C-alpha cells in the first residue's frame, strides 16, 4: 500500500528528551490517528514531518520526496492545522487570505468561501478577537482551501466544544470520500478516533509502539479481569500491563485468542478503549517490574 509519510529511523534529541529510531509509515487514502500521553513526542514528530524541525539522523519523506530537493512541491500538497495561532493578530481573514493564497497553485476561493460560510467566520474582524474555536475553524479553512492531498493536524479537537468536535469529524469524514486524501492527526481525545480513524499510530517515551488498523486493535487487544490467584510468573507474561486490586486483577493483552486459550472462562474478557491501551502501556511494565523485583 502506498505511503504518503515515511519516517525512517529518525532520531531527535532535546535536553532530557529523545525521539528514538522512529519509523512511521502513513498510508494513502486513510485517516491515521496519532496518540500518546503528554510529552511523548507527538508535536515534535509532526514538526519533523512539516520540516519545522530537522532530524539529528534518519530520513523524513513525503509523497516519496524529501525536503532537501522538493520542499516547495511537498508544502503545496499539505494542509496543516495546528493548535496555536498562526495568524497575525491585527489582521483580518481577508488580509490573511491575501497573504496566504498566492503561495498555493491550487488555491480555490470557492472552497474558502464555503468554509467561511459554514463556520460563520467574520471576514473583517481582527483575528485577535477570535475565540479558540474560531481560530481552529479559520486554520482549518486555510488548510482545506488549496486542494491538499494530505491534511496534517496537531491536536485539532483540543479545547473545542463537543458540537464543533462532531462537526469537524464529519468534515474530515466527508473529505475522505474521493479516496485520494490522507489525514494524519494527533489527539488526546481518543474517543474522537472511534468515529473516524482507520489506523492508529501510538508512541510512548519517544518510541513508536505500533501502527495498526483500528479494527485489528479491536480484534487483538482485550482487557482481562480475574482473581489474583490466576497470576503467576508465567501467566503474567501474557500481559502488557497488569493492575492488581483487593478484588482481583485487571490486565491488557495484545493477543486475545491466546489469552482465551490459557484462561478459558475463569476470566472476563472485555473490549479495551484506546485510553486503556495507553494507560497499561505506561503503567504496565512498571507495576510488573515492581511485583517481581
Ligand X SMILES: Nc1ncnc2c1ncn2[C@@H]1O[C@H](COP(=O)(O)OP(=O)(O)OP(=O)(O)O)[C@@H](O)[C@H]1O
Smaller CB separation from ligand X, 36 or 241: 36
144 in Cβ contact with 115 (< 8 Å): yes
43 binds ligand X (CB under 6 A): yes
Q: Does 169 bind ligand X (CB under 6 A)?
A: no
Residue nearer to ligand X on the CB measure, 35 or 148: 35
Candidate residues 24, 33, 44, 134; the one interacting with ligand X per rule CB under 6 A: 44
Q: Does 187 bind ligand X (CB under 6 A)?
A: no
Q: Give the dihedral sign, CA 118/132/186/162.
A: negative
Q: Is residue 13 a contact point for ligand X (CB under 6 A)?
A: no
Comparison of 38 and 245: residue with beta carbon closer to ligand X: 38
Q: Rule CB under 6 A: is residue 33 a binding residue for ligand X? A: no
The label of the residue with cell 485517516 reads: 31
Of residues 41 and 284, the one with the C-beta less far from ligand X: 41
Our finding on whether 38 is near ligand X (CB under 6 A) is: yes
**Window of 2-10, 35-43, 248-256, 273-281 that interacts with ligand X by CB under 6 A:** 35-43
CA-only gyration radius of the chain, Å: 22
In this structure, what C-alpha cell is assigned to residue 46?
509532526
155 by DSSP, 3-state: which? Answer: coil
Q: Smallest gap, in angstroms, from Cβ of residue 53 to ligand X? A: 7
Cβ of residue 209: shortest distance to ligand X, in angstroms? Answer: 13
Helices and strands (DSSP H and E) totals, the chain: 11, 14
Site membership for ligand X, residue 36 (CB under 6 A): yes
> Would you state the torsion angle of the CA atoms of residues 5, 115, 176, 273, taken in this order, to the nearest 10 degrees?
80
Q: Does 40 bind ligand X (CB under 6 A)?
A: yes
DSSP code for 124: S
Does 88 engage in binding with ligand X (CB under 6 A)?
no
Minimum CB separation of residue 185 from ligand X in Å reads: 12
Q: Residue 217 CB, nearest distance to ligand X (Å)?
A: 20
CA 121/CA 141 separation, integer angstroms: 10
Nearer to ligand X, 83 or 113 (CB): 83
d(CA 216, CA 228): 28
Q: Minimal distance in Å, beta carbon 278 to ligand X?
A: 11
Q: In this chain, which stretch among 14-22, 137-145, 192-200, 235-243 interacts with ligand X, using CB under 6 A?
A: 14-22
Report d(CA 162, CA 68) in Å as an integer. 40
* Residue 135, CA distances (Å) to 86, 106, 132, 140, 144 in order: 9, 23, 5, 9, 14
- 84 burial (CB, 10 Å; 0-12 / 13-18 / 19+) is exposed
Name the residues that contact ligand X, by CB under 6 A: 14-15, 17, 36, 38-44
Amino acid at each position: 500500500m502506498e505511503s504518503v509519510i515515511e519516517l525512517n529511523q529518525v532520531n531527535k534529541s532535546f535536553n532530557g528528551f529523545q525521539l528514538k529510531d522512529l519509523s512511521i509509515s502513513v498510508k494513502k487514502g486513510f485517516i491515521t490517528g496519532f496518540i500518546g500521553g503528554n510529552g511523548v513526542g507527538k508535536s515534535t514528530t509532526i514538526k519533523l514531518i512539516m520540516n519545522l524541525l530537522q532530524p539529528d539522523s534518519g530520513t523524513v519523506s513525503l509523497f516519496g520526496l524529501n525536503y532537501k530537493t522538493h520542499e516547495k512541491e511537498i508544502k503545496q500538497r499539505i494542509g496543516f492545522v495546528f493548535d496555536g495561532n498562526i495568524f497575525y493578530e491585527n489582521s483580518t481573514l481577508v488580509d490573511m487570505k491575501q497573504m496566504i493564497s498566492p503561495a498555493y497553485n491550487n488555491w480555490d476561493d470557492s472552497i474558502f468561501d464555503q468554509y467561511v460560510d459554514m463556520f460563520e467566520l467574520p471576514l473583517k474582524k481582527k483575528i485577535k478577537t477570535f475565540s479558540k474555536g474560531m481560530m481552529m475553524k479559520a486554520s482549518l479553512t486555510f488548510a482545506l482551501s488549496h486542494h491538499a492531498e494530505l491534511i496534517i493536524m496537531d491536536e485539532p479537537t483540543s479545547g473545542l466544544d463537543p458540537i464543533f468536535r462532531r462537526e469537524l469529524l464529519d468534515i474530515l469524514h466527508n473529505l475522505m470520500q474521493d479516496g485520494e486524501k490522507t489525514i494524519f492527526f494527533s489527539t488526546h481525545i481518543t474517543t474522537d478516533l472511534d468515529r473516524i480513524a482507520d489506523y492508529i499510530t501510538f508512541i510512548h517515551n519517544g518510541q513508536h509502539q505500533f501502527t495498526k488498523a483500528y479494527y485489528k486493535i479491536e480484534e487483538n487487544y482485550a482487557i482481562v479481569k480475574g482473581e489474583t490467584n490466576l497470576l503467576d510468573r508465567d501467566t503474567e507474561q501474557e500481559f502488557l500491563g497488569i493492575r492488581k486490586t483487593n478484588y482481583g486483577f485487571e490486565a491488557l493483552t495484545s493477543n486475545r485468542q491466546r489469552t482465551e486459550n490459557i484462561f478459558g472462562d475463569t476470566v472476563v474478557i472485555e473490549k479495551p478503549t484506546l485510553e486503556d491501551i495507553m494507560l497499561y502501556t505506561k503503567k504496565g511494565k512498571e507495576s510488573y517490574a515492581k511485583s517481581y523485583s
